[in-house]
Amino acid sequence: MSFEIRPLPGVTGAEVIGFDIGRDGADQAARQRLRDAWTDRVVLAFRDMEIDEAGFMRLAGLFGENVPQPVQRPEYRVEGFPFIRLLSSRHRDSLGDNKPLNVGGTWHTDHSHLPDPPRGTVLRAIRLPGEGGDTSFTNQRAAYEALDEETRREVDPLVGLHIYNSRYAPRRMATMTPAEEREAPSARHPLVRPHPVSGRKALYFNPIRIERFDGMDAAASQALMDRLVAHCEQDRFVYRHRWRAGDVLIWDNAQALHMVRHDYDPARERVMHRTLVG
């Protein structure tokens, strides 16, 4: 095996250098090394990947089964690859007021309104805006483990109600078709969950999707989430990824919040390919 996994400073993130999907993709030991590093470091950043859409899907397949994207739009399609969604900074709310959408622009975890949210989101840089457009990740396991005893007792028993379009979301979601809205599931998830692989507890909440915690009113629920965000977004838990051409990232939605900063020149387009695995 000639690729390298380099943990980044702190508790979150590792770079994967020299990974060749053709050479290393079929190697079971390599796959296990990657999966262990993913569980431990929460985010893996593959550098200098020379892959096409098929290679991207193969890479994602090392981490889990394909999961369909819950919201489909013609402008999201990548011909021939039904599990890839195109993300462009030029996309607008095509079924709503056609204003630009701040996609991914505040702390969230992907698709927590599903009863079984996809563990992995895989994102490949297609076109970068130059300066800016970084994506940041928290480590919700380390953040949980750093809570004081009293806060742990407070959060351990709570259960959150997650819906697609929470009225408390700090940004707008893409408008859905009436059928999508009818079919959009909601889900209850414990605020503190053992990780499906490591069994270690992590905070699981989603500021764009949580309506409230069971037994608490909306104001108290939002106040608690604000407190938790302030804790989780401390530098000691966060990895901020500066994108380079050839980057592919995978993160673990079960133990991370993420957000992108759309802080670049709006005349520059930022384009990504994204797929989900569970």
What residues are labeled active site? 108, 110, 258, 274
Interaction between residue 272 and ligand OGA (CB under 6 A): yes
- Secondary structure of residue 43 in the 3-state scheme: strand
CA dihedral sign, ordered 206, 210, 214, 216: positive
Q: Which of 12, 135, 206, 275 binds ligand OGA (CB under 6 A)?
A: 135
CB-based closest residue to ligand OGA: 104
* Distance (Å, whole) CA 167 – CA 146: 30
Least distance in angstroms from the C-beta of 207 to ligand OGA:
13
Distances (CA, A) of 129 to 34, 43, 196, 244: 29, 22, 36, 10
Say which entry of ligand OGA, Mn ion, none residue 71 contacts (CB below 5 to 8 A, set by partner kind). none
Of 200, 197, 189, nearest in space to 144 by CA: 200
Q: Which of 142, 143, 260, 277 binds ligand OGA (CB under 6 A)?
A: 260
Q: Which of 12, 13, 41, 104 binds Mn ion (CB under 5 A)?
A: 104
Amino acid at 220: A
Interaction between residue 111 and ligand OGA (CB under 6 A): no
* Distance (Å, whole) CA 26 – CA 210: 40
C-alpha torsion angle, residues 192, 44, 248, 55 (rounded to 10): -100
Interaction between residue 169 and ligand OGA (CB under 6 A): no
Query: Which parts of 58-87 interact with ligand OGA (CB under 6 A)?
Result: 87
Least distance in angstroms from the C-beta of 260 to Mn ion:
8
Please give the full DSSP string across 20-58, using - where no structure is assigned.
-HHHHTT-HHHHHHHHHHHHHHSEEEE-S----HHHHHH
- Compare residues 121 and 140 and give the one whose CB is closer to ligand OGA: 121
Q: Which of 13, 104, 120, 160 binds ligand OGA (CB under 6 A)?
A: 104
- Compare residues 70 and 104 and give the one whose CB is closer to ligand OGA: 104
- Residue 278, Cβ density class (10 Å: 0-12 exposed, 13-18 middle, ≥19 buried): middle
Pairing type for strands 14-17 and 43-46 reads parallel
Q: Please, what's the largest Cα pairwise distance for the chain?
A: 54
**Residues with Cβ within 8 Å of residue 70, at least 6 apart in sequence:** 111, 114, 184
Size of the residue set binding ligand OGA (CB under 6 A): 10
Interaction between residue 247 and ligand OGA (CB under 6 A): no
Over the window 193 to 232, marking each residue x when it contacts ligand OGA by CB under 6 A and - when it does not, the resulting string is ----------------------------------------
Interaction between residue 40 and Mn ion (CB under 5 A): no
Interaction between residue 274 and ligand OGA (CB under 6 A): yes
Least distance in angstroms from the C-beta of 210 to ligand OGA:
17
The residues binding Mn ion (CB under 5 A) are 104, 110
The residues binding ligand OGA (CB under 6 A) are 87, 104, 110, 121, 123, 135, 258, 260, 272, 274
